[in-house]
Copies of this chain bind each other. A is one copy, B any other.
């Protein structure tokens, strides 16, 4: 397993200045690690966590549960992401957080320790703030994606985003990135029924630009896929 502090420093440095002192402080931050099994919940809607987590390995997702029991996935997260950083400043968490089908490993940082660090290192505070702002930009993209695009474009856009983000953090091998989900979970992410996911996927395969199987995205023609999904990665940049 990669060193979590390397991941942490690299992630913050990818969008914010990190001085030697900032880095030293970050590396001195106490943590615990936790391994998650497939689909295991890490935090549940309504809880008031005293830790925030950074993802080390695998993928996790945030989701809402509707009264009918239906799930809506809100966002997907890769190594280096802080999927519940907002719980530092929002008492009650409004969504759940779970590992995807392959499981995941996370580092847990106590809010107390984080708050103390942020008080000492304003630059780090800004870096983490920026982290939450990029998070929000992804939410905005998801609103537009799920509200204004056709099923085909919607799915292509999601594939593009995950692939692009995976590439940025060195998680693309060849032209394939992990997205350890079943088709029904894809449906709960994109706001479409399982059957529609399957048919839309068939359409996308037909274009020869992408495939999705065994929890992995295979990009065969990036330009075509990005065009289908109307994908512009600007929102992922600081």
Contacts from A to B (Cβ < 8 Å): 46, 62, 64, 66-67, 70, 72, 74, 86, 89-92, 94-95, 119, 122, 125-126, 129-130, 132-137, 139-144, 146-149, 190-191, 230, 234-235, 237-238
Contact = CB atoms under 8 A, between A and B. Distances in A.
Given A129-B132, A132-B136, A234 B94 contact: yes
A79 to B, nearest CB: 21
Q: How many copies does the complex hold?
A: 2
A158 B90 CA distance: 22
Given A94-B140, A132-B133, A133-B132, A89 B147 contact: no
Given A134-B90, A146-B147, A74 B140 contact: yes
A119 B119 CA distance: 11
A190 B147 contact: yes
Given A90-B137, A148-B72, A132 B130 contact: no
A141 B148 CA distance: 16
A129 B94 contact: no
Most B-side CB within 10 Å, residue of A139, A149, A190: A139
Contact of A122 (B94, B122, B137, B147): B122
Nearest to A191: B147
Contacts of A238: 89-91
Contacts of A134: 90
Nearest to A131: B89
Nearest to A46: B234
Given A67-B230, A90-B133, A95 B148 contact: no
B89 A133 contact: yes
Given A86-B133, A129-B132, A136-B139, A144 B64 contact: yes
Q: Give 10 nearest A-B pairs by CB, closest first.
A: A147-B191, A139-B139, A94-B235, A136-B136, A146-B147, A72-B148, A72-B144, A86-B133, A64-B144, A89-B130
17 contacts: A66-B144, A66-B148, A66-B230, A67-B230, A72-B144, A86-B137, A89-B126, A89-B130, A92-B234, A94-B140, A94-B234, A122-B122, A122-B125, A125-B125, A129-B129, A132-B132, A147-B147
